């Protein structure tokens, strides 16, 4: 069984919404959790990790702790993914006609879920049941379930295994107790940061780690042009795979 853990990250200026996380077989997540907890327990121990709180929790040595946590990700996990959408672009295309299509979470999750399922082989993984887990702190549970139903009904990419792979309704879990969500938070934060740097010309913030390149990443950005040319319902059958 494959499991994906997903978290969001948002920026108001410039407006961007990111969903990101990691994918791996269930047994790898078990090993990951034990090692991640061991890094959290290094003195001074911290009860949980959240990227935008790391410096406050640790006071000093935050970069080193982030580096160690990222090394756990690269040791145990198989694949990373992210999707970015612009809330302003969605509003410009859809106006006020569709309250779900206008919400960035609905758009992002509706595209991300089928793309994860369809690209399992590209990640170097065996196809099978895929379980999705999201941060319980998200305010969009109702929208997420609507997006899930919509994506399964409208994903017209030809794949006989698509519905089988996306068979389970996503679960919500507490990011302070389910440690894989904390890894998703780290990934989402850095993806958002890179977008902001590109959009505003801010200096590049170097990551505290040097990547070992053991993980294959899928990155997707839903552009306003795609929204206008293909309309929301057709994105699932036309968007690039992001690799």
For residue 65, tell me if it sits in a domain. yes
What does DSSP assign to residue 60? S
Distance in angstroms (rounded) separating the CA atoms of residues 135 and 96:
28
> pTM of the prediction?
0.88
For residue 143, tell me if it sits in a domain. yes
Peptide bond into 14 cis (omega under 30): yes
For residue 195, tell me if it sits in a domain. yes
Which stretches in the chain have pLDDT values below 70?
96-101, 137-140, 151-167, 230-243
CB atoms within 10 A of CB 159: 14
Place of tokens 């200026």: 13
pLDDT at residue 242, rounded to an integer: 40
Average model confidence (pLDDT) across the chain:
84
Give the count of domains, the chain. Answer: 1
pLDDT at residue 57, rounded to an integer: 84
For residue 243, tell me if it sits in a domain. no
For residue 15, tell me if it sits in a domain. yes
Which structural domain, as residue segments, surrounds residue 97?
2-238
158-216 pLDDT, tens digit per residue, is 555 666 666 677 888 888 889 999 999 999 999 999 999 999 999 999 999 998 888 99
List Cβ neighbours of 27 (8 Å cut-off, separation of 6 or more).
none
For residue 178, tell me if it sits in a domain. yes
73-84 pLDDT, tens digit per residue, is 999 999 999 999
Q: Where are the beta strands (DSSP E) in the chain?
A: 2-12, 15-25, 79-85, 130-135, 171-173, 216-222
For residue 92, tell me if it sits in a domain. yes
For residue 11, tell me if it sits in a domain. yes
Question: Domain with 137 in it: what CATH number?
Answer: 3.30.420
């Amino acid at each position: 069984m494959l499991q994906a853990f997903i978290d969001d990250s948002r920026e108001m200026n410039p407006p961007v919404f990111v969903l990101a996380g990691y994918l791996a077989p269930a047994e790898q997540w078990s090993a990951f959790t034990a090692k991640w907890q061991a890094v959290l327990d290094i003195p001074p121990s911290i009860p949980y990790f959240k990227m935008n709180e790391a410096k406050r929790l640790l006071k000093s040595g935050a970069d080193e702790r982030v580096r160690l946590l990222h090394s756990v990700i690269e040791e145990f996990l198989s694949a990373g993914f992210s999707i970015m959408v612009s809330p302003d672009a969605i509003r410009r295309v859809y106006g006020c006609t569709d309250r779900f299509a206008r919400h960035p979470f609905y758009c992002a999750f509706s595209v991300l879920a089928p793309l994860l399922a369809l690209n399992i082989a590209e990640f170097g993984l065996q196809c099978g049941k895929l379980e999705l887990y999201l941060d319980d702190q998200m305010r969009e549970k109702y929208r997420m379930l609507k997006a899930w139903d919509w994506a399964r009904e409208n994903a017209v990419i030809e794949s006989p295994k698509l519905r089988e792979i996306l068979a389970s309704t996503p679960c919500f879990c507490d990011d302070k107790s389910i440690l894989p969500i904390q890894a998703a938070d780290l990934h989402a934060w850095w993806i958002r940061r890179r977008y902001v740097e590109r959009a505003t010309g801010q200096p590049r913030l170097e990551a505290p780690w040097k990547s070992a390149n053991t993980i294959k990443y899928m990155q997707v950005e839903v552009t306003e042009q795609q929204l206008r040319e293909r309309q929301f319902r057709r994105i699932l059958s036309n968007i690039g795979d992001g690799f």
